[in-house]
Amino acid sequence: MYDWTWLWIPASIFAAGAQAGRNAIQRSLTERLGTLGATQVRFLYGFPFALAIAAISHLATGSSVPRMGGSFVLFTMVGAISQVLATALMLAAMRQRAFVVVTAWTKTEPVQVAVFGMVVLGDRIPLLGMLAIVIATVGVTLMARKPAASQAASAGWQPVAMGLLAGAFFAIAAVTYRGAILSLGDGHFLAHATWTVTCGLLIQTIVLGGWMLMFQPTVMIRVLQAWRISIWGGLLGALASEGWFLGFALTAAANVRTLGLVEVLFAQILSWRVFLTRGTRQEMVGTVMIVAGVAMLLLV
């Protein structure tokens, strides 16, 4: 049987690029729809695409709908809710700080995945792994600090805290989603990955949509009215999720999210070309250190 394990590498890189594009679209919608509205765009408009991809993958692999036990339901629920919270926190932080800087803060996620793995699964972190964490942390500190001349205009510690917390929730989602995929047992990895994506998006759409209908119905109406641009955010979001989950089905979540740090580079390019912002040399050095530090986890 052919070994498809290597596929997690291009899948993760593809996912990182699609996610950077989706984040840019969501950020552009934040002022119009608010944080929750822009968050819902990812789920509401992504679900139909994920459902279509799942159907195609099941037909292509000849797989049937997998049997979902209690572990799958629990893992998927935790992952779905964590991802909703992470996305909302990330978008809220982006309203106060530069796009690429907030993206870099959330990209401390691979380090947090490794820590959660150590605490929850008993994974050991060798010396090289600890060194990677130190380098990434120094990089985050550099990106958080602004030149003295601009301290007065700084948004303060709130976007920093929200970015780090978003990274933590993204890390929880990554670990639990991989657990959901593995809980499905034997079967084709592509079918299991796409089915888990679809179930996660369905939960997110219902939970966040229900909340908005009860407490912010006018925002939900605006989300539906903004379908022309939102549909592209949904498409990119679904494609990004498919790439991430395909990686989760083939290797450890820490590997996938570490390689996914190339999203920081994509975010930097988008920040230059779309939002017409220029990062300081300090921020650029910090970005490089984050990428280099967490990428070292691949060598562990």
Where residue 148 falls among pLDDT bands split at 50, 70, 90?
A: very low
* Residue 41: inside a domain: yes
Q: Convert the pLDDT of each residue in 186-242 to its tens digit.
A: 889 999 999 999 999 999 999 999 999 999 999 999 999 999 999 999 999 999 999
> pLDDT averaged over the chain?
82
| Domain housing 18 | 5-146+157-299
Q: In percent, how much of the chain has pLDDT > 70?
A: 80
Q: Convert the pLDDT of each residue in 60-102 to its tens digit.
A: 999 888 888 999 999 999 999 998 888 888 877 777 666 656 7
* Residue 266 pLDDT greater than 90, yes or no: no
* Residue 150 pLDDT greater than 50, yes or no: no
In this structure, the number of other CB atoms found within 10 A of the CB of residue 117 comes to 18
Tell me the two tokens of residue 75. 């893992």
* Residue 110 pLDDT greater than 80, yes or no: no
Please list the helix, strand and coil fractions of the chain in percent, rounded to the nearest 5, in that order. Answer: 85, 0, 15
* Residue 151: inside a domain: no
How many domains is the chain built from? 1
Cα separation of 108 and 138, whole Å? 11
* Residue 155 pLDDT greater than 70, yes or no: no
pLDDT value, residue 67: 86
* Residue 152: inside a domain: no
Q: Convert the pLDDT of each residue in 5-64 to its tens digit.
A: 889 889 988 998 898 888 888 888 888 898 889 889 989 999 999 999 999 999 999 988
In this structure, the number of other CB atoms found within 10 A of the CB of residue 69 comes to 11
3 state SS of 105: helix
